[in-house]
Amino acid sequence: MEPAILRDDMVDSLEHEAKRVVRSERIGLAMREVPRHEFVEAERAAYADISHQEHGTRVLSPSDAARLLELLDVEPEQSVLIVGVGVGYTAAVVAEIVGARNVHAVDITRSLVYQARENLAAAGHEEVLVDWRDGAEGLPEYAPYDRILLEAAAVRPPPALHDQPAADGKLVMPHGTGEQRLSVVDANGDVEEHGNAAFAPLLVEGEQADAIERNRTAREDREHAQRSAESRHGWERDWIDWDGV
């Protein structure tokens, strides 16, 4: 079946009252335009409403992507930062609305940065800027942003991301650990919650799949294992200071 037909069927199901995760015409039209099969290798899997692993990362289901995009509520010509760009699909949908030059994206995994660039180029959005960065630091060189989308869960908004929206901008993110909620954080730090979520955690340097480790001695292995057992993951680190936001 033609990809365009599969795309239409996918969006029709997301707009149907049984799911109703696509509610705005702007998001629906953008998702109908983006060739999702350029971001997911198996063509039929690309248009099924499932999440799966690809290139070492979790590719969001179309439903999850749509929920984020509806909360992000982008408008033409707005500046957008996407943190944890993954394979690049969400960035492509945003680019359809705001224009590729207005979309900036980062990922902490170097191989995903290259993959996202290739996928976006294949989908006609090669002008999206994708950089290799620690997502918790955002991309301050191009701030402020009208919208920031964090596609990974964190206990609290990283302070650097809180500092980068415009005065009337907002940050959309999955908030929490075991129990997550999709949240919209405005420039004043006020939070609105919008339903349950289940996203992978925000990573910090050393936690990504392609992190390089040198060969260690047996003693170093034991000490490394002990430190790992006693440490907290990036989404639990104290530098995310909710009270200071």
- Residue 214 is predicted with a pLDDT of 44
- For the stretch 179-193, pLDDT in tens is 888 989 988 888 888
**16 occurs within a structural domain:** no
β-pairing, 52-54 vs 57-59, is antiparallel
**68 occurs within a structural domain:** no
Domain holding 183: CATH number?
3.40.50.150
Instruction: Please tell me the chain's helix, strand, coil percentages from 3-state DSSP, rounded to the nearest 5.
Output: 40, 20, 40
Q: H or E segment at 183?
A: strand 180-186
**109 occurs within a structural domain:** yes
Question: Whole domain around residue 135: which residue ranges?
Answer: 74-244
Spans of the chain, pLDDT less than 70: 43-44, 204-245
φ/ψ of 185, rounded to 5, equals -110, 125
**204 occurs within a structural domain:** yes
**111 occurs within a structural domain:** yes
**83 occurs within a structural domain:** yes
- For the stretch 28-37, pLDDT in tens is 999 999 999 9
**60 occurs within a structural domain:** no
How many domains does the chain fold into? 1
Cis peptide before 165 (omega within 30 of 0): no
**104 occurs within a structural domain:** yes
- Residue 63 is predicted with a pLDDT of 96
* Identity of residue 111: S
